[in-house]
Amino acid sequence: MPSPTLSADVLVRTTGGGRWERPATEGYLSEYELQEILGAQPSVIDGIENAVALREFSTGVGPADLVIVDGTGTITVVECKLARNQEIRRTIMGQVLDYASRLAEMTPEDFVSRWARQGGPSLDDFFATAPDGSRERFQANLRSGVFTLVLAVDAINDDLRRIVRYLNRHTTAGMRLLAIELRRVAHGDVEMLIPTAYGTESADEKNAQSASRRWTHADVDQWLRDHDAELAEALADFDAQLAAHGYYRGGGGTGAHPSYSVEGVTTDGQKIQPFSVYCGDVPLLSLNFQWLVLAGREVQRRFLTDLRDAGANVDVAAIESADFKKRPSVLLSLIVDPSRRTRIVDAAARALGRDSAVLAARTPPGP
């Protein structure tokens, strides 16, 4: 530790009594020590629980001090600086934004490959034990550039408070910015870490305001027509074919890009939601096996088989071993081919228990 910068508001003493004293030392010898603490225990950062971390993650313009992936699929980028760094205000903000912008240009495959090459904990193993859908949320967050950015310092100053407050108020919910002060003191053989988060309230307020606005099918349609007219037409045909079997458009999410779900009621009166559509750099179709649970295991199993036979790239063994508690995504462009689109619609119709209607539609009329 460096020479003491003693704090008047932290006093220590040995258990059992004695005189209260100021800690012998306080602070860090280098930013490396701060990075080391967070890398070993990411949960020190407010809001992070089950997570894996990689220090010095290569971004193409330099290494990010720390990149964290947690069990909700959230990606956190951390930059560490000490208050004695005279350029802290300029460098810490510029660096963390630069690294985040480079991450946003990576595909999930590129990210995972870089992570593995640099010796990071296995993301496959991590997601295998994480809550269902965490891998898909991680992939969607990366494609959309949705990150939590953390400025980790030994002392928060007024400049950092002002920057965090301003950016949280004037940016979209796709960026959550926090400053974390990690005061460190030592006395004898005891170390203490005093974490204080700044920006949590303004970031959460922004997200709450965003969450009040849910996307609709109309938003998805407009987004696709602006980006890929052919895909927009294919989705319109997909919706029409599903509607002919009794499906309807449900509500969307509140993420950075438009989305909506497809819902229906089985012949037994059970509500199911087999598909969700997500826009973004790569539009996706989520196959919601988990949300067919009310229809029964046999329906889930047949839906999986039908989608595989229709050309959807699904890992049958992994989905079955997870008791169908999965919602994998495939490229939305899968529905552009009319024949494949019809087979996917047929799979959804059978999930409603309308096999006879599907067969009748496919049987040519008699002479």
pLDDT, tens digit, 9 for 90 and up, residues 333-343: 999 999 999 99
Q: How many domains does the chain have?
A: 2
pLDDT on residue 87:
67
Read off the pTM.
0.58
Element spanning 194, H or E = strand 190-198
Please classify residue 296 by burial: count the beta carbons closer than 10 Å to its beta carbon, then call 0-12 exposed, 13-18 middle and 19+ buried.
Answer: middle
Contact 22, 7 (CB under 8 A): yes
Q: Nearest Cα to 153, choosing from 56, 79, 60, 58?
A: 79
Local confidence band at 172 (pLDDT 50, 70, 90 cut-offs): low
Say whether both 157 and 242 belong to one domain. no
Say whether both 233 and 261 belong to one domain. yes
Question: Structural domain of residue 85, as residue ranges?
Answer: 25-211
Say whether both 51 and 197 belong to one domain. yes
pLDDT on residue 206:
54
Please say if the pLDDT value at position 356 is more than 90. no
Q: Which tens digits make up the pLDDT trace of 232-285?
A: 999 999 999 999 999 999 877 766 688 999 999 999 899 999 999 999 878 999
Q: Which tens digits make up the pLDDT trace of 59-84?
A: 988 899 999 999 888 899 999 888 77
Say whether both 30 and 166 belong to one domain. yes
Whether residue 317 is contained in a domain is answered as: yes
Please report, rounded to a whole number, the percentage of residues in the chain having pLDDT higher than 90.
39
Say whether both 206 and 221 belong to one domain. no
- The Cα–Cα gap between 195 and 172 comes to 26
Q: Which tens digits make up the pLDDT trace of 85-129?
A: 766 666 788 888 899 999 988 888 899 999 999 999 999 999 888
Say whether both 173 and 277 belong to one domain. no
Tokens of 150: 């953390």
Say whether both 327 and 224 belong to one domain. yes
Say whether both 190 and 226 belong to one domain. no
Whether residue 272 is contained in a domain is answered as: yes
Element spanning 235, H or E = helix 229-244
Query: Once rounded to an integer, what is the mean pLDDT over residues 191-196?
Result: 86
CA dihedral 203, 209, 213, 215 (to 10 degrees): 0
Last residue of a domain, one of 149, 181, 211: 211
pLDDT on residue 355:
61
How many beta carbons lie within 10 A of that of residue 51, not counting itself? 19
- CA angle 111/43/74 to nearest 5° reads 35
The overall average pLDDT reported for the chain is 84
Last residue of a domain, one of 148, 182, 211: 211
pLDDT on residue 66:
94
**Sequence-distant (≥ 6) Cβ neighbours of residue 80 within 8 angstroms:** 31, 34, 35, 38, 65, 66, 152, 153
